[in-house]
């Protein structure tokens, strides 16, 4: 159950650090750097692709904040445990071609090693107009496993859900790791390597963990229909998460071993996508715009046809095992270490930079 909280007591709880997974040029980090400066907390930036450690260090030095920047592209394989969920999808069309989950899990492990009590996950295309909203969220972690900010601006949804909204559907959003406060007790929860990994972060083997929403974040606009491959890559994780949450809404336990449930849900999912296509075709707008959306939906539908009830069952059973694997990894990680020692303990030192904040005399 997600609790909406409009106000909380005065800001007395500190945020230990902000974790940002990024693959974009460092200019995208300016909002996160400014937020870390406003909260007087550390910033952890996990870089790949176009992200640059050196230019990130320059931004942090200019703002006078504490920074840990890690080049994820250069990390040795095997740094994190081998997850059964990843092995299940390896070599298949359902394998996710991103490193977002790896970065978020690495952020949790680093926070554990540093002895943090409260961290904030923040995406590099998210702006927090009022940084104190993150302090408010951190304060609520005494009562909740995760506290997200309400994402405004451009909606934070999958391609299929964006199309549903475009066709006039009443599409809601759920809190996600784009702006999410997490306490130390939740570091033993992990993000599987699948789309909607942040939804699964907030679900355990029995259901949704306690979660709340407070404050506001703003999502930078983007074009969800630019590449049909986006919808195709999202479909397995989107279908799986929607199915799990639908079961939880019906007061069922996570349907890990119910092929019959997934057979029915997959039928409903495919019908849902086809109905959106029909509604898009009827819209009075430029044909080129309709065609782009329909093309993306067709890609999602085609990928959905490859998803079997057995795959859903197998994945959720693997996820149950992976949660125990991750818990053991976190619990055996030494905590309360200084930054350089933490980086060394985790095997990150050779591919990371640590910058201490510059304090006024």
pLDDT (0 to 100) of residue 119: 97
Long-range contacts of 273-280 (CB under 8 A, 24+ apart): 273/160, 273/297, 273/300, 273/301, 273/304, 274/301, 276/160, 276/163, 276/164, 276/167, 276/169, 277/301, 279/167, 279/168, 279/169, 280/163, 280/166, 280/167
On whether the CB atoms of residues 124 and 349 are closer than 8 A, the answer is no
Q: Give pTM, 2 decimals.
A: 0.93
pLDDT (0 to 100) of residue 253: 60
For 281-342, where are the E strands, in sequence order?
A: none
Angle, vertex CA 203, rays to CA 201 and CA 207, nearest 5: 175
Residue 170 gets the label, from left (phi > 0), alpha (psi -120 to 50) or beta, of: beta
- What six digits make up the tokens of 228? 């049909």
- For 91-133, how does the pLDDT look when each residue is reduced to its tens digit (9 = 90+)? 999 999 899 999 999 999 999 999 999 999 999 999 999 999 9
Q: What percent of the chain has pLDDT over 90?
A: 78
pLDDT (0 to 100) of residue 138: 96
pLDDT (0 to 100) of residue 12: 56
- DSSP conformation class of 158: -
pLDDT (0 to 100) of residue 4: 61
Residues 6+ apart with CB under 8 A from 169: 276, 279
Residue 355 pairs with which residues in a beta bridge?
67
Identify the H or E element spanning 100. Answer: helix 100-114
On whether the CB atoms of residues 156 and 219 are closer than 8 A, the answer is yes
- What six digits make up the tokens of 137? 């969220």
Quote the CA–CA distance of 307 and 340 in Å, as a whole number: 44
Residue 71 pairs with which residues in a beta bridge?
47
- What six digits make up the tokens of 170? 């009443």
Nearest CA-CA partner of 266 in 240, 230, 295 = 240
Quote the CA–CA distance of 312 and 147 in Å, as a whole number: 28
- For 63-89, how does the pLDDT look when each residue is reduced to its tens digit (9 = 90+)? 999 999 999 998 888 889 999 999 999
Using CA atoms, how far residue 114 sits from 60, 157, 341, 344, in Å, is 19, 33, 9, 12
pLDDT (0 to 100) of residue 49: 95
Mean pLDDT per 10-residue section of the chain, whose length is 361 residues? 56 85 95 96 97 94 96 89 96 93 97 98 96 96 94 87 89 83 96 94 88 94 93 96 88 70 96 96 88 96 97 96 97 96 95 83 48
pLDDT (0 to 100) of residue 157: 87
Instruction: Give the dihedral sign, CA 103/106/112/113.
Output: negative
Using CA atoms, how far residue 358 sits from 41, 111, 229, 355, 361, in Å, is 13, 22, 44, 9, 9
């Amino acid at each position: 159950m997600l609790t909406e909280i409009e106000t909380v007591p005065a800001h007395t709880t500190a945020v230990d650090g902000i974790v940002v997974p990024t693959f974009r040029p460092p200019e995208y980090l300016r909002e996160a750097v400014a937020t870390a400066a406003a909260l007087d907390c550390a910033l952890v930036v996990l870089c790949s692709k176009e992200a640059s450690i050196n230019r990130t260090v320059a931004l942090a030095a200019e703002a006078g904040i504490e920074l840990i920047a890690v080049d994820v592209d250069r990390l040795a394989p095997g740094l994190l445990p081998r997850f059964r969920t990843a092995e299940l999808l390896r070599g298949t069309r359902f394998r996710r071609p991103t490193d977002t989950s790896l970065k978020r899990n690495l952020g949790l492990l680093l926070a554990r090693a540093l002895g943090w009590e409260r961290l904030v996950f923040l995406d590099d295309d998210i702006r927090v107009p009022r940084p104190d909203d993150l302090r408010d969220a951190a304060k609520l972690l005494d009562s909740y496993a995760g506290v997200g900010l309400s994402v405004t601006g451009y909606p934070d949804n999958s391609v299929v859900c964006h199309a549903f909204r475009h066709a006039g559907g009443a599409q809601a959003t759920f809190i996600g790791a784009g702006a999410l406060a997490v306490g130390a007790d939740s570091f033993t929860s992990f993000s599987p390597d699948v789309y909607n990994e942040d939804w699964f972060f907030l679900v355990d083997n029995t259901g949704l963990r306690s979660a709340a929403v407070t404050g506001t974040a703003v999502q930078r606009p983007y074009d969800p229909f630019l590449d049909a491959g986006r919808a195709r890559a999202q479909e397995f994780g989107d279908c799986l998460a929607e199915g799990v949450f639908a079961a939880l809404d019906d007061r069922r336990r996570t349907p890990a071993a119910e092929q019959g449930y997934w057979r029915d849900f997959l039928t409903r999912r495919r019908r849902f996508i086809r109905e959106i296509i029909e509604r898009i075709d009827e819209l009075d707008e430029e044909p080129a715009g309709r065609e782009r959306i329909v093309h993306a939906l067709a890609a999602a539908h085609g990928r959905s046809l490859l998803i079997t009830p057995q795959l859903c069952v197998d994945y959720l059973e693997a996820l149950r095992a992976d949660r125990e694997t991750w818990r053991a990894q976190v619990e055996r990680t030494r905590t309360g270490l200084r930054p350089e020692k933490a980086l060394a303990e985790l095997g990150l030192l050779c591919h990371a930079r640590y910058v201490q904040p510059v304090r006024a005399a």
